[in-house]
Chains A and B, each alone.
Chain A
């Protein structure tokens, strides 16, 4: 396929690997965090880590929206179907995420609840039009990429007067989370690996542009390279980060210029600004409460906000005992450090969110068999 195959060419990968080997300074370490689950997926699927010198490491960040959603919000969604008899529409990724009391949306569906998997917010609108006598709630999750489609649906429902439709909004913001990882004393206390540079998300950045990272690169003195999702994109971006670190620079660079501009998608941004506003604070799995890190439906569209339409108490639920998802999401632990990994927790029977989503670090470790290989020699001690 065009724009896919060219960015997976083997000979170019070998050339890039050689250029990276030549660029690295053997006396220092390069801990590069990929924030976004799409990069985690690409790194594992194509074995990019194996092409890197031992002192270049990928640290997996919390950039999987399925993984960072706290269990309490899934419990809320289950309450909507069990107590308010709504038709709940959701992206397929959410169905198998474990909720409290050994439930999941899939299990609740199996016991008769009306939960429908949709590919698009347009499908959710269609279901609402087809079922005028029922309340239809779209369980909206995701980062800046998935938010504009929800905004379109809210505006459309508003314009059509589709009053049996509402949105349970869980949209979260990338820059706030990256900042939280770097400045949270709690993360430092947990012994987080220090992060030298960041891969900026591909498709989130196609919407928000590269500009929002500029403050952050300056403030925290860490380089950011916006990287495409194909393996060659990740390698080229690693090379760009390595060069910045070698030269003591901390700038925002853009490798994914075929899609991302500095300004981003202005039409999508203005739709989001019209429909959503910042929440004062939102709970992230692994990060806890992060100020101004999520969106809620604006007052002018209050009628389409499920949290206003239904009684939805805040639920604080704890993770499965032994599950290391919170530490894995912060880059503090690796999947193989978790006792549940590969024993009771597998993609067929996930206990934690990182095993459910194909972009979660645990699922990526498991699916591509990387956990079976001996660990890379650890250069952290020597570099520290």
Chain B
């Protein structure tokens, strides 16, 4: 997949409804815009709907806006929950 294809994929994902977690790589405080990285692809998004976002934070991107910060702590807790649920069930090969 070349860069163009990847960008097209991301653009499609940025269309209605789908939202993706992306890493903030740069912030322009004056315009309330940020550059985010989705894998190798960079995209400019608006920060008008979020507060206290820093470079290196992960944000959920939807139709060109950051909707929310993604909590690293909670993500790990959820993954832990999956693993624990698994312990109570027997995995059938």
Binding site for B on A (CB under 8 A): 1-4, 6-7, 12, 14-23, 37-38, 41, 64-66, 91-93, 119-123, 141-142, 145-146, 148-149, 152, 202-203, 206-207, 228-229, 232-233, 236, 239, 255-259, 265, 267-268, 271, 357, 359
In chain B, positions 64-93 with a C-beta closer than 8 Å to chain A are 64-65, 67-72, 74-75, 77-79, 81-83, 85-92
Whether B75 pairs with A3 at a CB distance below 8 angstroms is yes
In the complex, which residues of chain A have a beta carbon less than 8 angstroms from the beta carbon of B86? 12, 14-16, 18-19
Whether B58 pairs with A2 at a CB distance below 8 angstroms is yes
The B contact surface, by secondary structure, is: mixed
Residue of A nearest to B88 (CB): A19
In the complex, which residues of chain B have a beta carbon less than 8 angstroms from the beta carbon of A148? 49, 65, 67
Q: How far, in angstroms, from A243 to B90 measured CA to CA in the complex?
A: 17
Q: How far, in angstroms, from A265 to B82 measured CA to CA in the complex?
A: 26
Contacts A1-B38, A15-B86 given: A271-B63 contact, CB under 8 Å?
A: no
Q: How far, in angstroms, from A146 to B15 measured CA to CA in the complex?
A: 10
- Number of interchain pairs (Cβ within 8 Å): 162
Residue of A nearest to B67 (CB): A206
Q: How many B residues touch A, CB cutoff 8 Å? A: 46
Q: How far, in angstroms, from A378 to B75 measured CA to CA in the complex?
A: 36
In the complex, which residues of chain A have a beta carbon less than 8 angstroms from the beta carbon of B21? 1-4
In the complex, which residues of chain A have a beta carbon less than 8 angstroms from the beta carbon of B67? 145, 148, 203, 206-207, 265, 268
Q: How far, in angstroms, from A231 to B92 measured CA to CA in the complex?
A: 19
Residue of B nearest to A207 (CB): B67
Closest 4 CB pairs of A and B: A15-B86, A120-B64, A18-B89, A19-B89
Which residue of the partner chain, among A20, A203, A233, A359, contacts B89 with CB atoms under 8 Å?
A: A20
